[in-house]
Structure 1
Amino acid sequence: MSSRRTVLSKHLKERHVNMISFSACIGFGLFLNTGKVIYLAGPGMALVAVVLGCSMMWSVIACLGEMTALFPVPGPLFEFPGRFIDEAVGYATGWMTWSAWIVILAAEIQAVAQLWRFRFDPAYLKSVGYPDEQLGWSTEHYSPAVWVFLFLIIVLLINLLPVRQYGQLEYIFGVIKLTFISFLIVFNIVLSGMQKVYHANHFWTWNSPWGFSSAGMVIHPTTSDPTNPDAMVKGNLGHFLSLWTAITTCVFSFVGFEAIAVTAPENKDLEKYETIKIATKKLSMRISLLYILGTFVGGLNVPYDDPNLVNIQINAVRAGQNSVFVLAAVRNGLRGFPSVFNGFFIFAATTSGINALYTSSRLLHALASIPEAWPLWFQNYRRRLERVSDAGVPLGTVCVSWCFGLMAFLAIKPFPSVILGRMTNNAVIAELICYTMICLSYTQFYHKIKVAANDHTLENRSAFNRDDKQYPYRTHGQLFRAWYGFFFCALLIVFNNWRAFVPPFSTPDFVASYIGVAVFLAIIAAYHVRSDGWNPLKWRRSASMQIHRPPPKVVVPGRRRGHLEFPNPKMPFWQEDNAKALVAFIWGWLK
């Protein structure tokens, strides 16, 4: 390892960034949580929940994308809150985000261990008319520690690769995931159309005795009687509570889109290829489309009161037999597909774990480059963490982050699914805190660059003009979307686990849901104590509002990427030059 090098290598291309961020969003959340969302809200209301979750993602990712495109700084997730809100808030956001990603790493690996316990209850198979009496894997009795150890090693080895090779692997992983999910959507549409098991119509799960929404909200389901009517809230209030709980469940599946910004220091030719803009738009459309379609088709073949969906406890994540996509194949009597699907879920969770280690290591490396974010007695260790190998890999931060992935060995506990649910809930709150600060940062950023664009004393004031053709990335109504994202995320933080306040009170669930808020405030207070003393009345906001270092990035003059412009507009589109432009435009959005 080089003793002096501290700068990451710029080897990632646009397609690498696209798939790194896409792969981060496609872990076990899509495949296992979709069934939970349908169970909570019903097939129609589940779609509403996913659309609302996507609207939050669009708002946050657009804020982060615009700021990062103009200022591609290391650690943008905490750098921008530090610049535009308060330094202490920025540092606290950085530590919270890093902690979220190491928990996500452990959660993905723990999910892998759970997925190897693939076994259906014979009574269920008989009730749905499955042709075989048994369906499962012989690995169900293996110790989860075996899988945790094996897959943690795989995750580490891939993250030690040079960044260029790592980007190529992530691209391959992303393409495989995208292809499989597309197949899964078509597969469920075909099942609904064929109706191997006859039903009155193709939307039978939306009709009586089921319906657009679930019957109500079971606040504290139990294994003995998960649908106890005495514990169910019905009517409009029940539907609202079901919708809100479904939205909070969706959020974990969307976590990972911020990886676009994390890759900025390793991006190649940001100005020429407009990587941040294109990747942000591609990811928003792909994730929204796939999650909405996946939820829709999942609800076509499996009713929301299927026993394997009912068994999903409110704060738990289980195995492949609880996936709505596996259940669709089983309920239609298909052999082979359930095992293939479960195997792919293991692949998806593993690659998301790989991505989680990459993201957490880059966040920790960005924190290591800021001496003020660390206590004085830790400065020597900080300098070691800042070092980068000749291949451009921050080995120190990769290894340190990986060590926290050992939390996945909690899978050997008696109730691993409950532990996994609480871990994911804790990570979601930490991420929501980050998203809230990003949106709030954008509101300050927006007004700051607006003033700079009208400041005639600045030679480069056009770089801050959002209406200028060389401005790297902007979206319409973004200030409103920033405030929308801020309030949406804040409400999700406050009411993410409202059930914990309904008797009987669950201390572990309450702590998992809200300790992140307390830790965030405590870190902010600790930084202010160090800089301003113990008296809170003397604490002062410290926000540099810096928009000149590094200099703002503008787009290379010429044709903007992502826009279709024919070289010969007066000629038909099949003319050779026009046809090449059309093909390049389509390929640019597909790759």
Structure 2
Amino acid sequence: MAQQHIEHEQGVKRELKTRHLSMIALGGSIGTGLFVASGSAISKAGPGGALIAYIGIGLMVYFLMTSLGEMATYIPVSGSFATYAGRFVDPALGFAMGWNYWFNWAITLAVDVSTTAIVMHFWLPDVPGWIFSLFFLLVIFIINILSVKSFGETEFWLSIIKVVTVIVFLIVGFLTILGIMGGHGPAIGLHNFTIGKAPFVGGIPAILSVFVVAGFSFQGTELIGITAGESATPETSIPKAIKQVFWRIILFYILAIFVIAAILPYTSKDLLGSSAGDVAISPFTLVFKRVGLAGAASIVNAVILTSVISAANSGMYASTRMLWAMSKQKIAPKVFSHVNRHGVPVAALLMTTVVGLFTFLTSIWGPQIYLFLVSASGLTGFIAWLGIAISHYRFRKAFIRQGHHLSELHYHAKLFPVGPILAMVLGILVIVGQDLHAVQNFDWQALGISYMSVPLFIILFVYYKLRHKTHLIPLDQVDLSKADQD
């Protein structure tokens, strides 16, 4: 039986290739945050402020990915950063991060399937939304229960659609800026970078608020750590994927924000409303309409639908693998460690689906419960990033303390210890800056909604620490063995 379990694990690991890993990480970070909410970032902080925020978060994410890459190539496990936190820092931190992250993605899955209904209403306004949501939840469940390969292939092709859309958008955008497309008047150039209070609007507080928007846009890139344990060749595929993701993030996000800011002035009422999720005023729709592209709204809506399905698909996969990994570490019920003959952890998948379904149903029956659950998962992605940075800092320190040499590592994180320290500082900054307005005005209700994830994380951490009397693991006792702990 034990041998069979190992074979299932190994069978899963052989199925994710480099192209899957890079597209999963990239696809996870290109979604509605770019296609819809990017406009609100420009309207809040101006073109310069939005660019600074996205560049700052882009750098933070890059350092986090290199940190995760160094650990994942040395000890590739599906539980990834929750496992690393438990082994390199404190078992209580691993427990809190694992359950926190599972909860986050299970709720996000529900948010995404609810969003599919909103997107489908663009074409079929008279069909009840719950029908679309349940249909897409079933489709995503089937994709994930078949095999890890079916998940990888689905993500690959959904990501291709998003990438092609962004490339076409950038080409059209730059031709419009140069005056080659989009009318017969003079070239727009960088005029919109200098109108009104541009390029920086609202000063540092505005840039900080956009840091949060940018951070949510980039969430999902850490999925590369979750997939590490199921990669055929983690030593080579993970470094390649991380390198590709960095350049693609710079290319797609920074250039896309630049194009939107150059073509649409930050004073545009359409940009201000883009945070509401209306595809008709997506910055991408507005730019395509400007050059006379027929059916721009329908095309962008279709792409947004693929983004939402991709995000839900990734959420299902990430939360399932996290629950499975926690079960193996004995910090979740044993039943979740079972895998079928295709290497899929069925019990963990069913549990995640049930939580996602329950959360979705509360959006119909009890909107207040739904909003509570969504708020409770709000900052968990940033908490996970913070945990990755802390874990890597401790990993490298323990590695050297125990007499190892850097030459033993398959992949070296860039600029250690500057990288993880910078990621920690920016992570704390984003978490604290989640709702500065509520902090300044002592709005306790808004504070409770915005920062709910933090006390939930602390409760999980303290509960495990008190129950099991754990402590910060001394550097010379950190477990650096490559075998995954059962």
Q: Same fold (TM over 0.5)?
A: yes
Residues 386 and 427 of structure 2 are in contact (CA less than 8 Å); yes or no, is this contact kept in structure 1? Answer: yes
- Please show how residues 158-173 of structure 1 align to structure 2 within 5 Å: 158-173=143-158
Q: Is the 8 A contact 1:21 1:256 kept in 2?
A: yes
Q: 1:482 aligns with which of 413, 416, 420?
A: 420
Structure 1 CA distance for aligned equivalents of residues 350 and 40 of structure 2? 34
Q: Distance in 1 between matches of 2:364 and 2:194?
A: 41
With normalisation by structure 1, the TM-score equals 0.75
Q: Which residue of 1 aligns with 2:227?
A: 263
Conservation of the 8 A alpha-carbon contact between 1:20 and 1:260:
yes
Q: Summarize deviations over 1:60-95 as a string: whole Å, max 9, x none.
A: 111111011111123121111111211111111111
Contact 1:65 1:276 (8 Å CA) reproduced? yes
Paired residue secondary structure (2:211): helix
- State the alpha-carbon separation in 2 of the partners of residues 46 and 432 from structure 1: 19
1:161-560 superposed matches below 5 A: 161-192=146-177, 193=179, 194-196=181-183, 198=185, 201-209=188-196, 211-214=198-201, 238-271=202-235, 274-312=236-274, 317-371=276-330, 373-374=331-332, 382-406=333-357, 407-409=359-361, 412=364, 426-452=376-402, 455=403, 464-466=404-406, 468=407, 471-503=409-441, 505=443, 507=445, 509-532=446-469, 540-542=471-473, 544-550=477-483
Q: CA deviation at 1:175?
A: 2.2
Which amino acid is the alignment partner of residue 408 of structure 1?
F
**What do residues 443-491 of structure 1 show as CA deviations (whole Å, max 9, x unaligned)?**
2111111133xx3xxxxxxxx422x2x6310134121111111111012
Q: Would you say the 8 A contact 2:176–2:187 is kept in 1? A: no
CA distance in structure 2 between the aligned counterparts of 1:116 and 1:438, rounded to whole angstroms:
36
C-alpha change, 1:307 and 1:282, in structure 2 (3 Å) is: same
Greater shift in the superposed pair: 247-256 or 522-531: 522-531
* Cα distance, 1:367 vs structure 2: 0.8
Provide the residue aligned with 2:69 in structure 1: 65
Using the TM superposition, give the Cα deviation of residue 499 of structure 1 relative to its aligned residue in structure 2, in angstroms: 1.7
Work out the CA distance in 2 between the residues paired with 1:293 and 1:495: 25
Verify the 8 A CA contact 2:36 2:279 in the aligned structure 1: yes
The alpha-carbon deviation at position 202 of structure 1 amounts to 2.4
Contact 1:423 1:512 in 2 (8 A): no
- The 1:197/1:414 distance shift into structure 2, 3 A limit, reads farther
Q: Distance in 2 between matches of 1:279 and 1:365?
A: 24
Residue type at the aligned position of 1:181: V
Pair 397,14 (structure 1): closer, same or farther in 2 beyond 3 Å: same
C-alpha distance in structure 2 between counterparts of 1:189 and 1:414, whole Å: 46
Q: 1:98 to 1:523 in 2, by over 3 A?
A: same
1:195 positional shift: 3.7
Please report how far the alpha carbon of residue 354 of structure 1 lies from its aligned counterpart in structure 2 after TM superposition: 0.8
Indicate if the aligned counterparts of 2:172 and 2:288 stay in contact, CA closer than 8 A: no
State the shift of 1:426 in Å.
4.8
- Would you tell me which structure has more helix in proportion to its own residues? 2
User: Equivalents in 1 of 2:33, 2:366: separation in Å?
Assistant: 22
Check whether the contact 2:25–2:221 (CA below 8 A) recurs between aligned residues. Answer: yes
| SS in structure 1 at match of 2:335 | helix
Pairing of 1:33-72 with structure 2 (within 5 A): 33-72=37-76
Report SS of the residue matched to 1:497: helix
Amino acid at match of 1:301: I
AA in 2 matched with 1:321: A
Aligned-pair CA distance for 1:528: 2.1
CA deviation vs aligned residue, 1:156-184 (integer Å, no higher than 9, x gap):
11111222233223222222222221112
Residue 122 of structure 1: aligned partner: none
CA RMSD of aligned residues (A): 2.7
Give secondary structure in 2 for the equivalent of 1:390: coil
SS at match of 1:166: helix
CA shift at 1:384, angstroms?
A: 2.0
Contact 2:191/2:262, CA 8 A, preserved across alignment: yes
Match of 2:101 among 97, 103, 112: 97
> Contact conserved, 1:210 with 1:303, CA < 8 A, in 2?
no
* Residue 155 in structure 1 maps to residue 88 in structure 2: no
Report the CA distance shift for 1:310/1:506 in structure 2 as closer, same or farther (over 3 A).
Answer: farther
Q: Over residues 212-255 of structure 1, what are the superposed CA-to-partner deviations in whole Å (9 max), with x where a residue is unaligned?
A: 133xxxxxxxxxxxxxxxxxxxxxxx311111111110101111
Moved more, 541-550 or 37-46: 541-550
Change (3 A) 1:433 1:392: same
- Secondary structure, in 3 states, of the residue corresponding to 2:200? coil
Structure 1 unmatched ranges of 5 or more: 119-136, 215-237, 375-381, 456-463, 533-538, 552-591
Q: Is the 8 A contact 2:70 2:409 kept in 1?
A: no
Q: Secondary structure in 1 aligned to 2:20?
A: helix
CA distance in 1, matches of 2:419, 2:257: 25
Aligned equivalent of 2:20: 16
Q: SS where residue 451 of structure 2 aligns?
A: helix
Shift of 1:21: 1.7
1:311 shift after superposition: 2.8
**Higher Cα Rg, which structure:** 1
Match of 1:114 in 2: 118
Give the letter aligned to residue 303 of structure 1.
Answer: P
Residue segments in structure 2 that go unaligned for 5+ positions in a row: none
Does the 8 A contact of 2:169 with 2:288 survive in 1? no
Q: Is the 8 A contact 1:197 1:332 kept in 2?
A: no
- Number of residue pairs aligned between Structure 1 and Structure 2: 475
Change (3 A) 1:213 1:423: farther
